[in-house]
A and B are shown apart, each in its own frame.
Chain A
Amino acid sequence: MTSELIPVSQSKPGLGWLKPWAPVIGGLLALVLSSILIILSGANPLEAYQVLVLGAFGGSRQITETILKATPLLLIALGLTIAFRARVWNIGAEGQYHIGALLGSIVALTLPNLPALLLIPLMLLAGIVGGLLWSGLAGLLHLKRGVNLIICTLMLNYIGILMVQYAARVPFRDPDGFLPESAKFVDAAQIPRLFSSRLHLGVLVALALVGVVYVLLWRSPLGFRLRAVGAKISVAHSLGINTSQHILTALLLSGALAGLAGVIEVSYTYTRLKQGISDGYGFTAILVALLGQMNPVGVLVSAVLFSGLVVGAQTLNVSLQIPAAVAGVLQALLVLGVLAGQAISQRDN
C-alpha cells in the first residue's frame, strides 16, 4: 500500500535561509580568491586587506582622496542607473565624459576673463551639453538608423577619447609648454573648494543627485515611464508610451551626467585639457551601477567602495610591493561574486 507514510530519504536539508546572504557570500568568495593572488605576489592577504582598508579609509587624507575619486564614478553611475533602469545599455559614458570635459575646457580656455560666477556655470553647462551631444549622437544612430546601441555607444568612446587627445595636441596646445597639453586654466575656472578641505562643490552636487535620481525614477511620471519601458517595452508601447522618445531621454540623461563628471574633473583635478583625464571612470561606473543594483543609494555605496579599492591599492603597492593591478582583479571578482550571489538569491524557489 502506498498510502502509508514513508519517510522521504532523498530530502536534503534546506539551504533556503542562505539565499538572502548570497551576495555577501559571493563577496567573501571574491576576497578568498583574491587572497590566492596576493599570496602568489608574496604577501599576507590579511595584512594586505588591512593595508587596503587603511589606505582608503584610515585617515582624513585617505578618506578625502577616496571621496574625490568616488565623485566622478558616482555622477556617471547615477546617470547609468537611469539608463539601465530603462534597459538602455549605454556603454559610452567614457566618451560622453571626454566630450563633456572637452567642451568645458574650450569654455575655460576661450573665455578666461569671465568672473568665476559666470565662467563655472558656463563650463558646467558646456560639459552637460557635450555629454548630451555624444549620447544623443548614439541615440540618433540607434533610433533612426537601427544601429545596435551597445555598439554605437562603445565605438563613440574611442572617438571621444581621441578627440580630446587631438584637441590637447593641436588646437589647444599650450605653445609655451613642453607636453602635449593645453595651458593651465585660470583660477576662476576651478570649481570652488568646500571650506578649507580638498573636497569641492562637485561632491555636493553628486550627493544631491543621489536624491534627485531617486525621486526621478520612483516619484516622477517620467521615471515611471522610463522604468516601464525598461521592464517590458511591448507593454509600454501598447499603453501608448512613446518608447523611442523615452529611450532617447534615458540616454541623454545618462550622457548629461557623464559630461558633467568630465567637466568637473578637468576643472578641479587636472585644471587643463590633456590626455589621460579619466581613470576609465566611464567603464568602471557601469560596474558601480550594476553592483549598486541600479538603486541610487546602492550606487553611492558601491562608488565609495570602488574608489576605496583603487585608492587603497596605491598604498598596497607602496607598502607591500603588491601590484596595484591586484585591486583591479579584486574589483572584478567582487562584482562577479556579488552579482552571481544576487542572481542566486533572486532565483525563484
Chain B
Amino acid sequence: MTEPGQFPLAIEMQDITKRFPGVIANQDVNFSVRPGEIHALLGENGAGKTTLMNILCGLYTAEEGEVFLDGVPVRFHTPHEAIAAGIGMVHQHFMLVEPFTVAENIILGQATGVLREPRQTLHQRLMALADQYGLSLKPEAKIWELSVGEQQRVEILKALYRQAKILILDEPTAVLTPQETEGLITILRRLAAQGTTIIFISHKLKEILAVCDRVTVLRDGKTVGTSDVANCDTHSLAEMMVGREVNLQRPDRTPLPTTPQEPRLHLEGISALGNHQVPALRDIALSVYPGEILGVAGVDGNGQRELEEVIMGLRTPTQGTIHRDGAIAHIPSDRYSMGLISDFTVTENLLMRDIDQPPFNVRGLLHPTKMAAHAAHLVQQFTIRTPSVKTRSGKLSGGNAQKVVVARELSQGHAIILAAQPTRGLDIGAMEFVHGQLMAQRDAGAAILLISTELEEVLRLSDRIAVLYEGRVVGVVRAENADVKQLGLWMAGKSAEGDRQRSAASGAVPSEGAVS
C-alpha cells in the first residue's frame, strides 16, 4: 500500500465497506491511484466497481472506510461536492437530458448559464474544447438525435468543461465502435499526459493492457490485488477477475444442415425511416435459417436499431415484406427502454411474457407462489445474482439485468431469436454465459439473428456474417471465409461496387446517420 516518493496519491480509498439490503457491494476495499496515471478498475458485473466509484463521486456514502484526495481526507455527501473537488464521472448510463442540446446539457447546473453567455460564443467555446481533445460534437445537436457513442462524448466533454482533475469512466468502450475506441484511447492518453488522473472501469482485457498503467482487480466486492499492467497479460487478468480459467475462443458447433431449408425469418426489400424521417434502412434482404446464427456487423448508428425495430414490428417499414415462421424471442439492444422494467421485481420481469399462461394464470388470476418458484428456477439456471426474486430489477448490476432479459427470452423456446447487442456492457463471465446460451439455442435448431457492433462477437458466434452500412447490407459472407480486413472495409462502406456506394453516400459520416 505504501507508495514511494513524496507525492501524495491522487486518490486513496481505505477499507471501504458498503452494504445494500441483501448484499455487501464493497467489503474492506482498498484502492489507490497515482496522479496522472490511467488506472484500470477490473472486475465482473456485481464485483463492486460501480459502487466503489459511486462512493468516490459522492452518489453513495461508505459505511466504513476513508477516502483521501491528494492526501486529504474527504467525505462527499453529494455529487456536487465531488465535482467541486475535481472528480468527473462518465456513467455507463448517461445522465443527459434528452430534449436538450449538447451545449445545454453541458452547462446544466453550472453557475454561468446560457442566459449570461450568448449561445454563439458558448458553442464556439465548446467546439474549441471538443476539438482540443478530438471529440467531434455539434453543440446545437439535441441529445436524442445522437448515437450512444456521441452521447458518451458529451459526457466526457461535460466533465472536461467542469475542469475535472480526476476522470472516472465506467465501461466507456462498451458502447463504442473500434474506431471510436481508438479515438477515446488517444484522448485519454492526452489527458493523462497533461496530468489528469484517469480511472478506467472495464472488463475488456486487451484495452486495459493497451491503455492503462496499473490495474486493480475486484471480485465479489473485495480487492483481489493491484499490479502494474506491464506485468500482466489477458490470461492472468481474466483469471484474477473471474477466479478461474476462461475460454473465449470460437466455440465448437454442430455443422449446418446440408439439405435446403426454408428460412424462418425472411426480409425482402425492407426500407424504413429513422427517427428523423431520413432513410435508415434501404432495400434490406436477409434470410435466417434454422440452426444458424446470422451475424449483422457494422458501426453503431448504421441502421441496427431500426432493423431491430422493424423485425419486432415496432417500426413500420416504408417498403418491403417480412416473413416470420414462428414467434420471435427478442434480446433488445437497449434493455432499459425495451427489455426491463426497473420498478418491477425480478419475478415480474422474468415472467412478463408468461402471465397469460398456466400455471401462472389460474382462471384469470395470477399465482404468485408459482411465479416466484419459476423465477427462482430461472435465477438459478441463468446464474442471476440478485438478493431475492422480489428485488426491484433496477437494483441489479448491468450484467445481471441483462441476464434477466436473456433468461426470459431464451426460456420461451421460440424458433426465432433476435439478439441485438446481447452482451453490451457485460463482463467476460456474463458474456461467456450469454454466448453459450445462444450457441445452445442454435444447436437446438433456432434461427438466430445477431445484431452486434462488437466485431469479435460476430466473428465468434456467427455462421454467416452480414455487414450493415448506412442502412444497406453491404455484403454477406460465410464466417469461415470471413476476412477481418474485408469486413472492416465493408463496415467503412467500401463494398465490391464501392465507388458507386461512396458517391451515393456523398460525404455523410456514419455517426451522423442518426443526426440531421
A→B interface (CB under 8 Å): 1-3, 5-12, 215, 218-221, 224-225, 227-228, 231-232, 234-239, 349
Contact = CB atoms under 8 A, between A and B. Distances in A.
Nearest to B367: A219
Given A8-B66, A232-B337, 15 more contacts: A3-B12, A6-B73, A10-B73, A12-B77, A224-B348, A224-B366, A225-B355, A228-B344, A228-B352, A231-B344, A232-B342, A232-B343, A238-B312, A238-B338, A349-B61
A224 B355 contact: yes
Interface string B363-375: 0111010000000
7 contacts: A5-B14, A231-B344, A232-B341, A234-B337, A237-B314, A238-B338, A349-B60
B101 interface: no
B366 A220 contact: yes
A238 to B, nearest CB: 4
A2 B341 contact: no
Contacts of B344: 227-228, 231
Given A3-B14, A220-B364, A235 B341 contact: yes
Interface string B322-343: 0000000010100001111111
A294 to B, nearest CB: 12
A86 to B, nearest CB: 13
Given A219-B365, A221-B361, A235 B77 contact: no
B233 interface: no
A164 to B, nearest CB: 37
B366 A221 contact: yes
A3 B75 contact: no
| A8, A12, A215, A236, most chain B CB atoms within 10 A | A8
A9 B14 contact: no
Contacts of A236: 341
B307 to A, nearest CB: 14
Interface stretch (B1-9, B179-187, B436-444): B1-9
Nearest to B409: A239
B478 interface: no
A159 to B, nearest CB: 33
B365 A238 contact: no
Contacts of A215: 365
Contacts of B71: 2
A238 B366 contact: no
B352 A234 contact: no
Nearest to B408: A239
B235 interface: no
B12 A2 contact: yes
B77 A239 contact: no
A232 B312 CA distance: 18
Contact of B8 (A2, A227, A237): A2
Nearest to A8: B73
Most chain B beta-carbon contacts within 10 A, residue among A2, A10, A228, A232: A2
Nearest to A222: B364
B394 to A, nearest CB: 10
Indicate the member of A10, A231, A239 with the most B CB atoms within 10 Å. Answer: A239
A2 B68 contact: yes
B73 A3 contact: no
Nearest to B368: A219
Contacts of A2: 3, 8-9, 12, 68, 71
B2 A1 contact: yes
B353 interface: yes
Interface in B354-387: 355-356, 361, 364-366, 368
B248 interface: no
Contacts of B332: 238
Contacts of B68: 2, 6
Contacts of A5: 14, 66
A234 B74 CA distance: 41
B343 A238 contact: no
Contacts of A349: 60-61
Contacts of A12: 77
Nearest to A225: B355
A189 B356 CA distance: 41
B159 to A, nearest CB: 22
A236 B312 CA distance: 13
Nearest to A227: B344
Nearest to A223: B366
Scoring A1, A5, A9, A224 by chain B CB atoms within 10 A of each residue's CB, the highest score goes to A224
Across the A-B interface, give the 8 residue pairs with the lowest CB-CB distance, nearest first: A2-B71, A238-B338, A231-B343, A232-B341, A221-B355, A231-B341, A234-B337, A8-B73
A228 B73 contact: no
A224 B312 CA distance: 22
B314 A238 contact: yes
B74 A10 contact: yes
B366 to A, nearest CB: 5
Contacts of A225: 355
A219 B343 contact: no
Contact of B75 (A8, A224, A231, A235): A8
Contact of A234 (B61, B338, B365): B338
A349 B365 CA distance: 36
A320 B342 CA distance: 51
A12 B78 CA distance: 13
